[in-house]
Every structure is written in structure tokens, then in C-alpha cells.
Amino acid sequence: MENQVKTSTENKEQQLKKLSKMTMIRSLLPIAGLIIIFLMFNALTNFRMMNNLPLVLSQVYVTMISATGVFFIMTMGGLDFSQGSILGIASIVVCMVSKTSIPLAIVAGVAAGAAIGAINGYFYVYRKIKSFIVTICTMFLFRGFIKYLTTNAPVAGSAMLINFDSTELKLACTLVVLIVGFILFRFTKFGTYLKAVGAGEKAAMFSGIRTDRMKFLIYTLAGAITGFAAFINVIKVGSVTSSGGNQLETQILIALVLGGMPISGGAKVRFENIIVGSLLYIVLNSGLTMMGFTTQMMQLIQGVVFLIFVAVFADRQSLQVIK
């Protein structure tokens, strides 16, 4: 009997050791991957990537900002496929309003994004439709709007916008969003509540969290953040075509998963997932471009990499809670 008890505690310790080792590997793998892929592409392209770093990074800002909002959504176990369309619509709004006033254009972009986010939230929370169904619907709906608005010609912004196109400003905006997001997530009840909703919504409700209101607000917030990213997008591209913001949602999803985020959200998510993941995605993407792969070939490679990462990071115990 004594022996049995002893072996059972030993087993338990071993199991826990194994578990924490797994967690370590999971959190280190994306960072190691980022470094390895970065070095690899540099070696393969004669350090062209290192030399073009500002150019490479210029692609990361929009993804990284929008990914912050989606990170919150995914933490509580939801998904959002409408981010590309949100970016497109918000960019068109920014372009249009920028002819009147640029500060107003930023506000209008945020408002447009928040409005679409609120529509997502309304149908998801109050009409009780699964989030991926709702957001796939709004993705098509607003892509239709974008195509309609850009039928004759791309929507161009004010010529003044180009003056804002500096690495410093874009970097500063990105940092502000990330830092505010990090503090909210890590050092206020907001983060714990989000993780609780993702890990067990009913129990979260019974702990006093107003889960419905929270979910609605998060979708609105994610829309607003992407609306803000639209400004960064517009100062870079100047005008919006019918494909404006196309596939942003996939980029974000791939980036977060590459960053080590469990696709079902919950307590195992880490804020670093956004940063590491976005960088990893952009390095992979630019690296493949620099090596001269065709777009089709790149999609194929991305698909394979994405699948491998999902397989590694999927938390199979809580997969059923994707909402």
C-alpha cells in the first residue's frame, strides 16, 4: 500500500514534468522558428533580407495591429474571418474622409471598423450563430460593398496622406496598440476574464463575468482596431482597389497560429503570440518572394506550414469549445 502511494506520486511528478516540458517546447518553438527561418532566408538570398529590413517590416504593421484584436477574439474561443473586408471598408472610409480632414479620417476609420465588428458581435451573441459562420457572411457582404464602391476606379485618398508615410509613425502606432493591448491583457481583469471565457464560458458566467456583453464588445473592439490599421494601410498604398484588405483574415490567422496560439484560445494563449507570429509570417512571406517563388507556389508552401503548426499547437482537449 505504501509503495503504491509512492509510485503514484512519482508518476504524477513525471507526468507534470513531461507536461511542463511540452509547454516549454511550445512556447520556444515559434521563437526558434523565427530565428532559424530568418537566418535561413538570409543565407539563401545573400543577406538581401537583412539589407531590406525596413521594406520587409513595412508589411508587418497592418497585420500586427489587426492581429491584436483577433487575438482577443480567439482568446475567448471565437474566430473572425471578416477582418480583410473590415480593413477594406475602413480604408475606403479613411480615403473618402481624408479629403475633409485627416484626424477625422482616422476617427471615421475606427468607427467604420467598430460598426462592422458590432454587426458581427450582434449576430454572434444575440442571434446565437457560430462566430465563423457570421464572420464568413460579413466577409462576403462587405467584400461586395468594396467591389461596388470601387467599380469605376479605385477610391483615392487625399494627396496629403503620403506625407504621413514614415517608418517612425507606423512603428509608433503599432507599438502603442501593442503596449496598450499588452497592459490590458496582462495586468487587468480584462485578460483573465477573456481567458476564462475561452476556457469555459459557462463557468465564467457563474463566476460573475457578463459573458454576452464581453463577447459583443470584443468583436466591436477588434473591428475598431482594424479600422485604425486601415489608416496605416492607406498612408502606405494611397488608394483602395476592389481587393483592398483581401485575405487579411487568413494572414492574421496564420500569423497567430505560427506564433504558437492554440486555435481554441483559452488559458494557454500568450500575448507574445501576436508579435512572434506576425514577424514569422512576414519573414516567411518575403523570404519566399525574394527566392523567386510564384504566388501559387507560395500559397502552397504557406498552406503546408500552416497545417503543420495547427497540428502541433492544437489543444485537442479544448478544441470542442471553438464558438
The residue within the footprint of other proteins, chosen from 46, 160, 210, 303 (CB under 8 A), is: 210
Q: Residue 248 and residue 301: Cα distance in Å, rounded?
A: 18
- Name the segment binding other proteins (CB under 8 A); options: 113-121, 138-146, 172-180, 188-196: 188-196
Question: With binding defined as CB under 8 A, does residue 6 bind other proteins?
Answer: no
Q: How far is the CB of 5 from other proteins (least distance, A)?
A: 10
Cβ nearer to other proteins, comparing 26 with 236: 26
Binding residue (CB under 8 A) for other proteins from 32, 53, 183, 300: 183
Using rule CB under 8 A, residue 126 touches other proteins: no
Q: Which is nearer to other proteins, 193 or 216 (CB)?
A: 193
Distances (CA, A) of 57 to 6, 22, 62, 191, 271: 55, 31, 10, 28, 19
Q: Exposure string (b/e) for 19-45, b if CB count within 10 Å is 16 or more?
A: eeeeeeebeebbbebbeebbeebbeeb
Site membership for other proteins, residue 27 (CB under 8 A)? no
DSSP line for 213-272: HHHHHHHHHHHHHHHHHHHHHHHHHSEE-TTTTTTHHHHHHHHHHHTT--TT-STT--TH
Position among 129, 205, 237, 290 found at the interface with other proteins (CB under 8 A): 205
Binding flag, residue 125, other proteins (CB under 8 A)? no
Site for other proteins in 250-309 (CB under 8 A): 266-268
For other proteins, give the closer residue by CB, 127 or 202: 202
| Segment 299-308 long-range contacts (CB within 8 Å, at least 24 positions apart) | 302/254, 305/258, 306/254, 306/257, 306/258
Does 21 contact other proteins by CB under 8 A?
no
Choosing from 6, 10, 15, 100, the residue that interacts with other proteins (CB under 8 A) is 15
Is 206 near other proteins (CB under 8 A)? yes
The answer to the question of residue 11 lying near other proteins (CB under 8 A) is yes
Residue 170 or 195: the one with the smaller Cβ distance to other proteins is 195
- Phi, psi (deg, nearest 5) at residue 240: -115, 125
Q: Is 152 in the site for other proteins (CB under 8 A)?
A: no
Kindly report the CA angle at 273 between 230 and 29, in degrees rounded to 5?
A: 140
Q: Rank residues 35 and 203 by Cβ distance to other proteins and give the closer one.
A: 203
The string of DSSP codes covering 1-58 is -HHHHHHHHHHHHHHHHHHHHHHHHHHHHHHHHHHHHHHHHHHHTTTHHHHTHHHHHH
Please give the Cα distance from 250 to 149 (Å, whole number).
Answer: 23
**Grid coordinates standing for 9?**
506520486
Site membership for other proteins, residue 204 (CB under 8 A): yes
Q: Is residue 195 close enough to count as binding other proteins by CB under 8 A?
A: yes
Told to check if 196 binds other proteins by CB under 8 A, we report: yes
Question: How far is the first Cα of the chain from the last one, in angstroms, to the nearest whole number?
Answer: 46
Q: Check residue 192 for interaction with other proteins (CB under 8 A).
A: yes
Query: In the complex with other proteins, which residue's Cβ is closer, 220 or 318?
Result: 318
Among 51, 100, 163, 188, binds other proteins (CB under 8 A): 188
The number of residues that bind other proteins (CB under 8 A) is: 31
Cβ proximity of 195 and 269 under 8 Å:
yes
The SS3 call for residue 155 is strand
Using the rule CB under 8 A, which residue among 22, 104, 203, 308 binds other proteins? 203
Structural contact between residues 139 and 247, judged by C-beta atoms closer than 8 angstroms: no
CA 131 to chain centre: 15
CB of 176 or CB of 300, closer to other proteins:
176
For binding to other proteins (CB under 8 A), which residues are involved? 4, 8, 11-12, 15-16, 183, 187-189, 192-193, 195-196, 199-200, 202-210, 266-268, 315, 317-318
